[in-house]
């Protein structure tokens, strides 16, 4: 049985929001690494830093319980959260900058810089932050609703 099988219970919304908060936090960490290494021309493995990206996928409760009542249930089950499946390297080539005086320049005088565009990373960071805030709002609202239900 899935660890999210409590979807229909009181802990389901907490598990869903919690999984999203965890995924969003990892996304922000990866973006921060990309920004921090935007000018790293040499890594331990040689060559410039390569931008990393987070890949998400939905989590499903495999036990179909509500198929007649919930149209969002799929053949895989009911979606009950999100998870990071992997962190992949961006396949785009490095940014080549003409700087013949740089000791890392190639024979033509170009230095390979990371394929990180800080403007795009900042836009992604804003998106990740907003997603995190939205999931935190859902978590707090759920908590407030549950507390009010207990007072009835």
CA atoms within 13 A on the CB side of 100: 3
Q: What is the mean pLDDT of residues 94-105?
A: 94
* Nearest residue to 81 via CA among 62, 54, 67: 62
- This prediction's pTM: 0.79
Q: Domain-by-domain residue ranges, the chain?
A: 5-150
Query: Terminal CA-to-CA distance of the chain, rounded, Å?
Result: 33
- Higher-pLDDT residue of 4 and 139 is 139
CB atoms within 10 A of CB 14: 16
pLDDT value, residue 15? 82
Burial class (CB in 10 A: 0-12, 13-18, 19+), 101: exposed
pLDDT band at 146 (very low <50, low <70, confident <90, very high): confident
pLDDT value, residue 106? 94
Q: Tens digits of per-residue pLDDT, 52-88?
A: 999 999 887 766 555 555 555 555 666 778 889 999 9
Report whether 120 contacts 35 (CB < 8 A). no
Burial class (CB in 10 A: 0-12, 13-18, 19+), 111: buried
**Residue 103 reports pLDDT greater than 70:** yes
Q: Tens digits of per-residue pLDDT, 6-58?
A: 444 556 778 888 899 999 999 999 999 999 999 999 999 889 999 999 999 98
Q: Tens digits of per-residue pLDDT, 116-125?
A: 999 999 999 9
């Amino acid at each position: 049985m899935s660890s999210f099988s409590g979807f229909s219970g009181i802990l389901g919304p907490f598990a869903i929001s919690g999984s999203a908060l965890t995924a969003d936090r990892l996304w922000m960490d990866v973006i921060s690494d990309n920004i921090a290494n935007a000018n790293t021309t040499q890594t331990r493995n040689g060559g410039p830093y390569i931008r990393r990206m987070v890949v998400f996928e939905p989590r499903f409760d495999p036990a179909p319980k509500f198929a007649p009542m919930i149209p969002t249930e799929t053949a895989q089950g009911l979606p009950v959260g999100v998870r990071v499946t992997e962190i992949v390297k961006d396949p785009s080539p490095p940014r080549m900058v003409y700087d013949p005086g740089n000791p890392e320049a190639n024979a033509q005088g170009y230095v390979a810089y990371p394929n990180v565009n800080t403007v795009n990373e900042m836009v992604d960071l804003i998106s990740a932050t907003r997603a995190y805030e939205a999931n935190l709002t859902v978590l707090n609202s759920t908590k407030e609703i549950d507390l009010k239900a207990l007072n009835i």
